[in-house]
Amino acid sequence: MNLHMKSEALLDEDFDFYQSRIRILLILYFFSVPYQSKKHVNRKTLFETEVRIQKIDFLIRNPDYLAYEMLSLVKEGGIDDKKEVKHIVDNIFLDKEPLIRKNEMERFFFGAYEDLDDVIAFLKAFDFIEYESGKNVAGQIFGKKYYVTSNGAERIEKGVKEISSISWYEKRCKLIKKYFGELSGSELKVRQYQIEKYRDTPLNQYIESVIDETKKMYIDLYGEELA
């Protein structure tokens, strides 16, 4: 099987096995900005910082936190259409996403974290992305930049049309981008640290659910119980 055929398979019958790799690829694609370079014509979009990947990934993997964050925007007065948010949160809970879709992450020094080195290396090996970073005098890596390639963009665009599992992730990425897409990784981190359960989870432990807290905020905002 050549590389092209293998890359097709990754967005088809092997979806479950490669779920984390595909999810990260979709984040890099949907939250990136267009990129053009005469030197690197294969690069189509640019995504910056690993911190932002981690914080967006957390919201995808923890629908209860996404619902909580959306209700928080309403509470803060940052949302004009409160009914739209209510509808979205209703559906998240009616579909039992906080239980069915939950994919736990551990708390690290800077919040929710999962090592992405193998994922990024894998995506690069299949020509889905290209990657750059710098090193300071102490040898620490900084300035991570991720470029989705022509091949990566083509596979994603095909996959979201043909594979329902990928289509769900596409819709979720677009939802998060609509409400939180303008925030940097550091800004998303600050928001998440404001949630007590998130902040108080011990290091290297899975971050606790906020289902009960979300339901309470929903009642406070809308005067009725959440399913």
pLDDT in tens, 14-72: 555 688 999 999 999 999 999 999 999 999 999 999 999 999 999 999 999 999 999 99
| pLDDT above 70: residue 11 | no
The distance of Cα 128 from the centroid of its chain, to the nearest Å, equals 17
- Give the pLDDT band (50/70/90) at residue 153: very high
Q: Which of 115, 131, 118 is nearest to 45 (CA)?
A: 131
Higher pLDDT, 68 or 13: 68
85: Cβ–Cβ under 8 A, 6 or more apart, which residues?
70, 71, 73, 74, 79
Indicate if the pLDDT at residue 3 is higher than 50. Answer: no
Question: Tell me, what's the pLDDT at 14?
Answer: 58
Q: Is the pLDDT of residue 136 over 70?
A: no
**Structure confidence by residue, pLDDT tens digits, 162-202:** 888 888 999 999 999 999 999 999 999 999 999 999 999 99
Q: Is the dihedral of CA 197, 31, 150, 35 positive or negative?
A: negative
| Tokens encoding 40 | 């690197």
Q: What are phi and psi of 134, to 5 degrees?
A: -115, 170
For residue 1, what pLDDT is reported?
A: 42
Q: What is the DSSP letter of 204?
A: T
Would the pLDDT of 13 be above 50? no
Q: What pLDDT was estimated at residue 166?
A: 87
**Does the pLDDT at position 139 exceed 90?**
no
Domain range 1-61+112-194, CATH class? mainly alpha
**All residues at 6 or more sequence positions from 121 whose CB lies less than 8 Å from its CB, including other chains:** none
Type of residue found at 3 = L
Instruction: Tell me the average pLDDT across 63-91.
Output: 95
At 147, the amino acid letter reads Y
